[in-house]
Amino acid sequence: MRMLKILIVSLFGFIAATLSAHAVIEIDITRGNIQPLPIAITPFVGSDQQMTTNGSVADIGAQIAQVVTADLERSGLFNAIDPRAFINSGNVAAGPQFANWRAVGAQALVTGTTVLEEDGRVRVEFRLWDVLAGSQMTGLRYYTAPQNWRRIAHLISDAIYKRLTGEDGYFDTRIVYISESGPYLERIKRLAIMDQDGYNHKFLTDGSYMILNPRFSPTSQEITYLSFYNDTPRVYLFNIDTGKSEMLGEFEGMTFAPRFSPDGKKVIMSKAEQGNSDIFVMELSTRRVERLTTHSAIDTSPSYSPFGRYITFNSDRGGSQQLYVMDADGSNVKRISFGDGRYSTPVWSPRGDLIAFTKQTGGKFYIGVMRPDGTGERILTESYFEEGPTWSPNGRVLMFYRKYPYDNNGGGGDTQLWSIDLTGYNERQILTPLDGSDPAWSPLMD
């Protein structure tokens, strides 16, 4: 009898449970509108009275907010709300009035403070808020010499970018490129470096000899490039911190298109001898050189995959210039590009999922990406002359150079640096003091 009762009770329980299970509606949301996230960035609050070598800490706070705003807007993923629309700039101590920020349409909010420390450094704090939830998402504090405020701003941009997108940022980075000036036939080409937003520009060479193909080490602040010092093309290493350069060795023939391996311990390049070029790799510690391709066709522009297992390069061994992938020891060569036109300058994304390239067809140039197996080709930009893509360290943005030639042979004309993100919609020019070409993106700074 007791069993019977238990059974009846459990039966009722079972029915009640199934009924209550019915009460919850389940909805699958699979579509949405990808839009820049509305974000409000308030001037960082500081005292007018605390003076530094770079103005008052209040000025520094306002400037930091401007740099963060520009960084995030340039990424194309954020829509910074005009400060004139702010209902209040926020009393930092009291915490934000979220209703006021919701009223201006902000979904994220950045507040911060700048304070002068006794040792002369500036303390910068920021907080990122989720306006709709009314909660803090992240908050960090930095100490720095007043003149480094711009770098702190980029670090804050990176932290915000990472928290809101899940990806590492790319704002605390630098660009090396070839600065060009002078008439078409007597071009002066100098190595130059700047922050990724164009500030802190510096020339690294004086222009007395030509520089080509600068490439950043993925692990340190070192650059490899091709120099025509003494009218002989050679691959050099240049340390940005010390300003010292060294030649990577004497080679017979002409070496060009150098690029670091992902661990920064090797440099891969192509070397031309008697009209034919093949791919070689040099170990930097021993200067030992190994030949990777042996083919009568022209093999050039090698680039390692992120873990160094594969190399992509371009070759005309199939009759026209196309992209190939091979193992790091030179074996197992496979062609990956099969579209119309010529493909060149392949560069493996730091994320490993894509290879960027320059494509030339129908009298136009294109920058595009494809998967390492050659599928999913996507064209991102087009113009009458553009090439040389370089990846941001997070593998989301490409920088390249574009030329507006005077004649049909691609001669003369303004040369500019441009960037495009993987969506293909956020195309922007990077302003340089003179003409600029052949950019190379640094890794995130230490």
Write out the residues near another protein by the rule CB under 8 A: 1, 3-4, 7-8, 11, 14-16, 18-19, 22-35, 37, 77, 107, 130, 132-133, 137, 163-167, 351, 353, 396, 423
How near is the Cβ of 11 to another protein at its closest, in Å?
A: 5
Torsion of CA 197, 403, 355, 169, to 10 degrees: 10
Residue 147 DSSP symbol: G
User: From CA 414, how far away is CA 436, in angstroms rounded?
Assistant: 9
Question: Nearest CA to 273 among 248, 301, 289, 251?
Answer: 251
Question: Nearest CA to 393 among 196, 241, 177?
Answer: 196
How near is the Cβ of 421 to another protein at its closest, in Å?
A: 10
Question: Nearest CA to 223 among 234, 233, 210, 213?
Answer: 213
Question: Nearest CA to 345 among 436, 337, 308?
Answer: 337
Spatial contact of 368 and 424, defined as CB atoms under 8 Å apart: no
How near is the Cβ of 65 to another protein at its closest, in Å?
A: 23
Query: What tokens were used for 48?
Result: 């007018």
How near is the Cβ of 363 to another protein at its closest, in Å?
A: 29
How near is the Cβ of 42 to another protein at its closest, in Å?
A: 20
Question: Which is closer to another protein, CB of 1 or CB of 93?
Answer: 1
Question: Which is closer to another protein, CB of 227 or CB of 349?
Answer: 349
Question: Which is closer to another protein, CB of 105 or CB of 318?
Answer: 105
Spatial contact of 149 and 115, defined as CB atoms under 8 Å apart: no
Q: What stretch of H or E contains 195?
A: strand 188-195
Pairing of strands 108-116, 37-41: parallel
Question: Which is closer to another protein, CB of 181 or CB of 423?
Answer: 423
Question: Which is closer to another protein, CB of 165 or CB of 220?
Answer: 165
How near is the Cβ of 397 to another protein at its closest, in Å?
A: 11
Question: Which is closer to another protein, CB of 64 or CB of 77?
Answer: 77
